[in-house]
Amino acid sequence: MKAALWYDKKDVRVEEIEEPKVTKGYIKIKVKWCGICGSDLHEYLGGPIFIPVGTPHPLSGNVAPVVLGHEFSGDVVEIGENVTKIKIGDRVTVEPIVACGECPACKEEKYNLCSSLGFHGLCGSGGGLAEYTVFPEKYVHKIPDNMSYEQAALIEPIAVALHSIRMANFKTGDTAIVLGSGPIGLATIECLKAAGARLIIVLQRKSIRQEYAKRAGANFVFDPNEVDIAKEVKKLTDGVGVDVAFETTGAKIGFDTGIDSIKYEGTMVITSIWEGDVSFNPNVLVFSEKKIIGSIAYRHEFPSTIALMSDGRIKAEGYITKKIVLDDIVKEGFETLTGPEKKKQVKILVTPDKSLLSES
């Protein structure tokens, strides 16, 4: 079968590899659509970050090259022994967590904090940028009949945003600033609207993404090149600041603006993946008892995300800005998302089945 493999930074290749086999407790999925994630872009531009190189991943036992892709949907075509909840023909998505199940975090069901955490599509256990993939039944979720395969490929990034909002202990009526309006930023805006946010402010440099942010539900969108965003936030909050900041850029401007924009005892949640260090003076936390917390992936959020999308509380409209075939993933996918046209894109979906492009 064909699959997209990461070999090294700026070295992704579409190759023929062996089709994966179903084992006990596993499910085989014929992939319909798979999104290119920000994590994939970080690996393409500055990796390895999650991808094991040299030393095998403790759970997959594999090293690069690895099959990419962790935001995907498809049909179940085969099930292994002891699979009871999923059947052949089911329309599904995958929660792409690779966890040991034995460490203290896993025993608390905080599997996203597994001491050996990996992600399908990054750690060498297979991935969704392929014709077929296999995964444990525990992390496979059925999708409702009213949800398209394309929408289902967006469940994973929206679950990331939903988890970050839960980590922030965000309450109805709270105020927020979202730093960046890429896919995770837009998902965060939509989740904040669904959570009953009173005010949503967004940092986004001038581009079509400003319009995307407004469409997703932002009340105000500011360009850091044009205004002092923290000052604007203070003006809009009677000089106090917002309750929560969500950092999705992985850039110092987002980090600094987030800290400066939150109120006393406010919280900044970092969901972005960073390619380097950032420095700050801890006194900005000490003097006002502000908090910075991290948020990685999701745990137990997939069912809630599917329900919120299915009933329309999270619309996830306009995310998909381009659809391409797997063969073209480097030029039409990675190069587009990292080149001069990147700000025009939100989510590029990839299919191994060329016939799906003519249907869409």
Domains for the chain: give ranges and CATH numbers: 2-154+319-359 (3.90.180.10), 158-294 (3.40.50.720)
pLDDT of residue 360: 60
- Compute the radius of gyration of the chain from its Cα atoms: 20
Tell me which H or E stretch contains 324: strand 320-325
Residue 261: left (phi > 0), alpha (psi -120 to 50), or beta?
A: alpha
* 85/142 Cα distance (integer angstroms): 9
* 246/178 Cα distance (integer angstroms): 5
Residue 26: left (phi > 0), alpha (psi -120 to 50), or beta?
A: beta
> With contact defined as beta carbons under 8 Å apart, do 35 and 328 qualify?
no
pLDDT of residue 344: 86
pLDDT of residue 95: 98
> With contact defined as beta carbons under 8 Å apart, do 109 and 300 qualify?
yes
Buried b (16+ CB within 10 A) or exposed e, 271-285: bbbbeeeeeeeeeee
Nearest to 258 by CA among 226, 206, 300, 222: 222
**What tokens does 300 get?**
């137990």
The torsion angles phi and psi of 39, rounded to 5 degrees, stand at -65, -40
pLDDT of residue 359: 73
- 296 vs 202, 226, 299, CA distance in Å? 21, 31, 9
pLDDT of residue 109: 97
Most distant CA pair in the chain, distance: 61
**Could you tell me how far CA 253 lies from the centroid of its own chain?**
21
Q: Which amino acid is residue 355, in one-letter code?
A: S
Which stretches in the chain have pLDDT values below 70? 360
Count of residues making up the chain: 360
- Model confidence pLDDT, tens digit, residues 204-245: 999 889 999 999 999 999 999 999 999 999 999 999 999 999
